[in-house]
């Protein structure tokens, strides 16, 4: 797909797990913001899943960002105060301008 730079009009935070001091001599894992980037965000679909007698909603989104940014499969994205778990980073061609990322809301890591 082709995108225009003006379509990257949403601010998205890239979150990464990092060991942080817990204040009692130990450490714990926490999500830390490593970057705030421009992205094109588009919903792809959703569904309801029944687990343990509860109905949970899940939604898939496509995030398009500039290629070359340090975004890992283990990272999460935060858009409009909602956290999304990366499911697939579609590896672009070497000189491609954009990276497509599929991410889910409502799915546990």
Judge whether residue 84 has pLDDT over 60.
yes
> Own/partner pairs for 4-8, CB < 8 Å, 24+ apart?
7/40, 7/64, 8/38, 8/39, 8/40, 8/64, 8/65, 8/66
Architecture of domain 5-105: Beta Barrel (2.40)
pTM here? 0.80
Q: What percent of the chain has pLDDT over 90?
A: 48
For the ranges 5-9, 36-40, 45-49, 81-85, which has the lowest average pLDDT?
A: 45-49
Domain boundaries, the chain: 5-105
Give 2-43 pLDDT, tens digit per residue.
788 889 999 999 999 998 887 788 888 889 999 999 999 999
């Amino acid at each position: 797909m082709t995108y225009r730079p003006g379509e990257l009009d949403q601010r998205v935070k890239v979150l990464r797990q990092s060991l942080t001091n817990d204040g009692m001599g130990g450490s714990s894992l926490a999500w830390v913001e490593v970057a705030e980037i421009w992205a094109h965000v588009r919903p792809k679909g959703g569904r309801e899943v029944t687990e343990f007698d509860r109905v949970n909603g899940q939604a898939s989104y496509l995030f398009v960002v500039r290629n070359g940014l340090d975004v890992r499969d283990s990272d999460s994205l935060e858009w409009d105060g909602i956290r999304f778990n990366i499911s697939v980073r579609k590896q672009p061609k070497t000189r491609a301008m954009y990276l497509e990322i599929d991410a889910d809301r409502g799915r546990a890591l």
